[in-house]
Amino acid sequence: MIRYEQKNLHPWINDDVLKALQPQVESACELLASRKGPGGDFIGWYDPSKVVPAAELDAIKEASKRIQDQSELLVTVGIGGSYLGARAVLEGLPWDEASENGVDIDFAGHHMSARDTEMLLDHLDDYEVSINVISKSGTTTEPAIAFRLLKAYMEDRYGKDEAKNRIYATTDAKKGALRKLATEEGYATFVIPDDVGGRFSVLSPVGLLPIAAAGFDIDALLAGAMDSFKTYGASTDVLTNDCLRYAASRVALYRQGKAIEILSTFEPAFHYLIEWWKQLNGESEGKNRSGLFPAGCEFSTDLHSMGQWIQEGQRNAFETFLIEEKPSASVVVPDTGDDLDGLAYLAGRELSEINLEAWKGVSLAHYDGGMPNSSLIVESMTTRTMGELIHFFERATGISCYLQGVNPFDQPGVEAYKANMFALLGKPGFEAQAQALRARL
């Protein structure tokens, strides 16, 4: 279960501030549940039991077994919502949650770095490889380039027929270049539902296939999301429903001039969970010249860099800690029988317990420095808890956006860079834009 503690948001946030938002929160909940709000055609993620039909879920499990039989490494090709969710889960879960036959997962298609791509292609020869290419639109340039390279590699290495048996495409049911290519080549395919947008798609085949191939229990992940769906869907009371309290608090803080939310963790394994959360919020909320800027910090590392800013810099931010209370890993500070390093007082203590004390000390120091902060606390990060957390954040994002009158489910601003890039690269149809851009370079 997730616990939400917000003592350190006082006086910026108190019960009166939240109660004043109750009518708006109720409308936001209604817009989400009824799918009648802006972007209502993209709320297919809302009930996790309805995202993937049972037959498709079985097919995902079968494909993941085939991948495990055929390969040691699955390269997942995708960008944004087509990759970050899976990476957040795969890197955020402890490895003892995965079965032994799980394969390693590598990621491609989320950049156009020649250096990184060359390294990836070089090291593939050391493993038996399968590929999962993921793109809802089927036309995104970065994964399309990576897949062109990987397809050529696979055909060269395994021959066309064997390559075909090792390539899995996750895309729209009908539209897009990837659907056409997959059909023509005869790849196994999985469907991204029409009503599920990229950054809300981790609990669809987009995330489930690589997560299952890595050996994690996707039924437990979905069960966790269902726990969350039921718990936080049971009431619209902003004071007692932690998901609504979190969403309403962040919007109230934004309205008080706190324009940045820093999601901070003391667990480096949550790096991609934070990256996924940044996309979920940044792309959903940053519209109409408004919206919170989602940032992330990893402590203790960033306490020795960003910690200074958080303690004493501009007071236009607030912090949300993402805490795991009882990690499964156990490391004890050794008793060396002396005190040469001045650490005898820590001898015999668990590292995770020391890490928790660091969180408590940091949260109070930052509060004393005028940085409002609250904490989302999970007891232990299991596959089920991860599902719960994912759905918690998705609901909170939907509610926050509706509280701010924003469509959470589109991303018109992302198109601007693509058009400029196409123009500069000479894509047919972009000639006039290319000329205008070149004049400015």
Residue 135 near ligand PA5 by CB under 6 A: yes
The reply to whether 418 belongs to the active site is: yes
Q: Least distance in Å: CB of 354 to ligand PA5?
A: 37
Site for ligand PA5 in 267-306 (CB under 6 A): 283
Residue 136 near ligand PA5 by CB under 6 A: yes
Residue 44 near ligand PA5 by CB under 6 A: no
| CA dist 88 → 203, 211, 277, 384 (Å) | 12, 10, 9, 14
- Give yes or no for a contact between 198 and 80, defined as CB atoms under 8 angstroms apart: yes
| CA dist 411 → 31, 163, 414, 416, 430 (Å) | 19, 35, 6, 10, 21
- Give yes or no for a contact between 49 and 222, defined as CB atoms under 8 angstroms apart: yes
By C-beta, is 400 or 411 nearer to ligand PA5?
Answer: 411
Residue 382 near ligand PA5 by CB under 6 A: no
Q: How many residues does the chain have?
A: 441
DSSP class of 340: T
Residue 197 near ligand PA5 by CB under 6 A: yes
189 Cβ contact partners less than 8 Å away, ≥ 6 residues apart: 168, 169, 170, 171, 179, 182, 183
Q: Least distance in Å: CB of 109 to ligand PA5?
A: 8
- Give yes or no for a contact between 173 and 194, defined as CB atoms under 8 angstroms apart: yes
Residue 397 near ligand PA5 by CB under 6 A: no
By C-beta, is 60 or 84 nearer to ligand PA5?
Answer: 84
* Conformation bin of residue 50: beta by default, left when phi > 0, alpha when psi is -120 to 50: alpha
Binds ligand PA5 by CB under 6 A, chosen from 199, 250, 258, 395: 199
Question: Nearest-CB residue to ligand PA5?
Answer: 198
Scanning 59-67, 129-137, 307-315, 394-402 for contacts with ligand PA5 by CB under 6 A, the matching segment is 129-137
- Residue 82 structure tokens: 């087509």
The reply to whether 283 belongs to the active site is: yes
In degrees, to the nearest 5, what angle opens at C-alpha 270 toward C-alphas 363 and 219? 125
Residue 241 near ligand PA5 by CB under 6 A: no
**Site mask for ligand PA5 (CB under 6 A), range 64-103, x = bound:** ---------------xxxx---------------------
Residue 140 near ligand PA5 by CB under 6 A: yes
Binding site for ligand PA5 (CB under 6 A): 79-82, 135-137, 140, 143, 197-199, 283, 411
Cite the active site residues.
Answer: 283, 304, 418
